[in-house]
A and B are shown apart, each in its own frame.
Chain A
Amino acid sequence: MKNSLTYKLFIGYLVLVLSYFVYLSATGTRILGDDKEKFEPNGSSGSRSSGGYRGSSYYHK
């Protein structure tokens, strides 16, 4: 009985992980995320004007 429950839990875990993979693949979601920043219209970015860039702080040797 105890054996059966342990295996059922493990199988449940495997199914959960595979289902998560199906969701990720179907929606194009990357587990590690990305570096984009999202701004809602009239959102918290406030004074930011669309199309502007907040400044380069990226490549400096």
Chain B
Amino acid sequence: MSGFDLVEKEKLPAVAAISCTRCNHNIQLTTHAQAVNIGCSNCGHVLQWQNNQWAGIKNLKQHKILPAIPVGSSGRIKGIVYKVVGFVLYQEARSQHRWREYVLFNPLHGYAFLSEYDGHWTYFTFITDLPLKPTRDRSMHYQGEKYKLFHRYGSKVLYAEGEFTWKILENASHYTEFVAPPYMLAQETSSDEACWMKGTYMEPGEVRETFGLTSSLPERIGVGAIEPFDKAFSFGKVSQLGGIALVMLVVLQVFFMIVNRPQQLVEQSFDVPPPKEEYGPVNLSAIPGPSFTLNSMTGTSNLEFELYAPVDNEWFALGITLINTTTNEAYDFELGTEYYSGYTGGESWSEGSTTNDVDLSAMPDGTYRMILQPYKGILSKVNSFRIQVRKDVPLWSNFWIVLLLLAVVPGVQWIRHHSFEKSRWMNSDYSPYTYE
């Protein structure tokens, strides 16, 4: 077999065959002389190469399970054609958590692993550019990504089938895992070796397609250690786009504040006319107000009316009628002030104000005539008031509402992302979140 066969024709090495020393089951070897342990899929016996022959060392049949990807299957991951040469069922040394690993082999690229825990799949390859000394750090940087410590644990083998280049029953490994979804860095240390592997999350559908599986894969439970959050609509990208839109909103608001500077149209004081009748309800005469002209580039603009009245424990209101002398359209609205103060229960208090304002939205251009109708209480001492009219006043309520509209989608994604991350870290002893 040549490299051309391997790369271009996707051919893998021919297999050798041995018989299980316990049940005589025919076992096929792809890695040939590299294998030091073999697990028989028929009887669960583990064989070890020693004294130039295969010898049985332990039977693991009691934990036998069927691999989701049969040993001997082939598939292409990230452009590399792998053959599944081994399958191991692991259990954490100090807990009941179990996971499954598939040993992948390619004659040119060597070994890789597919790990499955709670239906979440990770594709591991060896990396050689990290120090082999056991790490005690809580985080690390690798290739521009910050990885956070997720888990430390020991392992033991419950069941194995296929061929292995290491003594699976002798070397209890310890793992330290750092995550930066969808990637993981895992340091594996045992009594005689240490290595680093980089893991990449694989969707179950991708695994099924890679190995041409027809049976169903283990159902996903919870959030995987490196399962990415909503790949179709990532929180990072949404935040970035939302941030750009927010900056544009601020720029637009500043632009319109510069272009549409507020302009005072009216500032005038008036005397409150005496009541029409000496007794009974206060009935005041309407006052002809000033006129002003509204002229804008877009045909409409906003108006702000501000009323001041020297109220003191009383109220004063103004009914304002605006008549557009160009179109004869009339607009009515009310504007009032009230101010109360006192001393109750040993404390002085006050509420209200002597001024109040109201905004009129999108008023058409034209010349306006104002008619003012004052109202006040029977005992009111208010005898004057002042009215101011400004145009093109910045409408901050618009700014805040549009800001809210821009923030809705990133906000929802943030809540989803936060909940997702909290679920992810629920499985870790090093979670930055608190759980009730």
Contact = CB atoms under 8 A, between A and B. Distances in A.
A34 B317 CA distance: 17
Given A3-B232, A10-B241, A56 B319 contact: yes
A46 interface: no
B319 A53 contact: yes
B80 interface: no
B321 A52 contact: yes
Contacts of A30: 302, 359, 361-362, 395, 397-398
Contacts of B302: 28-30
Contact of A39 (B300, B329, B373): B329
B349 interface: no
Nearest to A2: B232
Interface string B310-336: 000011110101110001111111101
B321 A28 contact: no
Kindly state the interface size class of chain B when it binds its partner: 35 or more
Nearest to B375: A56
Nearest to A42: B328
Contacts of A24: 395, 398, 402
Interface residues of A, number: 42
A38 to B, nearest CB: 5
A38 B331 contact: yes
B36 interface: no
B296 to A, nearest CB: 7
B331 A37 contact: yes
A29 B332 contact: no
Interface of B: 231-233, 237-238, 241-242, 245, 248-249, 252-253, 256, 260, 286, 296-303, 314-317, 319, 321-323, 327-334, 336, 338, 340, 358-363, 371, 373, 375, 391-392, 395, 397-399, 401-402, 405-406, 409
26 contacts: A2-B232, A3-B232, A6-B232, A13-B409, A18-B252, A18-B406, A21-B249, A25-B398, A28-B362, A29-B300, A29-B398, A30-B398, A31-B402, A32-B401, A34-B360, A36-B322, A36-B332, A37-B333, A40-B329, A50-B330, A51-B286, A52-B286, A53-B371, A56-B319, A59-B317, A60-B315
